[in-house]
Structure 1
Amino acid sequence: MNAPGPPIATERLPPDAVPRAAALLAAGALVAFPTETVYGLGADARNARAVASVFEAKGRPHFNPLICHFPEAEAAFAEVLPDARARRLAAAFWPGPLTLVLPRRPESRIDLLAGAGLDTLAVRVPAHPLALALLRAVALPVAAPSANRSGAVSPTSAAHVLEGLSGRVAAVLDGGDCPVGVESTVLDLTGAGPVLLRPGGVPVEALEAAIGPVGRALPLAAAEASRTLRSPGLLLSHYAPGLPVRLAAGSVGPDEALLAFGAPLPGAGATWNLSESGDLAEAAARLFAGLRWLDAEGTRLGLRGIAAMPVPERGLGLAINDRLARAAAPRG
Structure 2
Amino acid sequence: MSQITTRTLAPDAAGLTEAADLLHAGALVAFPTETVYGLGADARQDHAVARIYEAKGRPSFNPLIVHFADLDRLRQVVDWTDAAQKIADAFWPGPLTLVLPVKPDSGISKLVTAGLDTLAVRMPASEVARSLLRRFDGPVAAPSANRSGQISPTRAAHVLSGLDGRIDAVMDGGPCPVGLESTILGLTGVPTLLRPGGITLDQIAKALEAPVAERKGTEAISAPGQIRSHYAPRARVRLNAAEWEPGEATLGFGPMPCDLNLSASEDLTEAAANLFEYLHRLDATGARTIAVSPIPHVGLGIAINDRLSRAAAER
Q: Which of the five TM-score ranges fits, normalised by the shorter chain?
A: over 0.9
Aligned to 2:262: 274
How many Å apart are 1:121 and its aligned residue? 0.1
SS of the residue 2:40 aligns to: strand
Aligned to 1:13: 9
How many Å apart are 1:36 and its aligned residue? 0.2
How many Å apart are 1:125 and its aligned residue? 0.1
Aligned to 1:322: 306
Q: Does residue 260 of structure 1 match 2:260?
A: no
Asked if 2 retains the 8 angstrom alpha-carbon contact of 1:31 and 1:172, the reply is yes
Q: Does residue 243 of structure 1 match 2:235?
A: yes
Which residues in structure 2 correspond to 1:277-296 (within 5 Å)? 277-296=265-284
TM-score, normalisation: structure 1:
0.93
* Rounded Cα–Cα distance in structure 1 between residues aligned with 2:171 and 2:3: 19
SS of the residue 1:15 aligns to: coil
Aligned to 1:80: 78
Aligned to 2:223: 231
Q: Deviations over 1:145-184 (max 9, x none)?
A: 0000000000001111011101011000111000000000
* Rounded Cα–Cα distance in structure 2 between residues aligned with 1:82 and 1:309: 42
* Rounded Cα–Cα distance in structure 2 between residues aligned with 1:172 and 1:315: 32
Q: Does residue 113 of structure 1 match 2:137?
A: no
How many Å apart are 1:254 and its aligned residue? 2.3
Aligned to 2:204: 207
* Rounded Cα–Cα distance in structure 1 between residues aligned with 2:10 and 2:19: 10
Displacement over 6 Å in runs of 4+: none
SS of the residue 1:238 aligns to: coil
The partner residue of 1:39 within 18, 37, 40 is 37
* Unaligned residue ranges in structure 2 (runs of 5+): none
Aligned to 1:196: 193
Which is worse superposed, 180-189 or 195-204?
Answer: 195-204
How many Å apart are 1:30 and its aligned residue? 0.2
SS of the residue 2:284 aligns to: helix
Q: Does residue 158 of structure 1 match 2:150?
A: no
Aligned to 2:20: 22
Asked if 2 retains the 8 angstrom alpha-carbon contact of 1:179 and 1:285, the reply is yes
The partner residue of 2:292 within 295, 304, 308 is 308
Asked if 2 retains the 8 angstrom alpha-carbon contact of 1:68 and 1:124, the reply is yes
Q: Deviations over 1:218-267 (max 9, x none)?
A: 21xx24xx4xx111110000000011011111011121111111122x4x
How many Å apart are 1:304 and its aligned residue? 3.1
Q: Deviations over 1:190-228 (max 9, x none)?
A: 01x111010012122111110121111021xx24xx4xx
Q: What is the aligned-residue RMSD (CA, Å)?
A: 0.9
Asked if 2 retains the 8 angstrom alpha-carbon contact of 1:31 and 1:41, the reply is yes
TM-score, normalisation: structure 2:
0.97
Q: Which amino acid aligns with 1:308?
A: V
Aligned to 1:48: 46
- Percent identical pairs in the alignment equals 58
SS of the residue 1:325 aligns to: helix
Q: Which amino acid aligns with 1:312?
A: P
Asked if 2 retains the 8 angstrom alpha-carbon contact of 1:73 and 1:94, the reply is no
* Unaligned residue ranges in structure 1 (runs of 5+): none
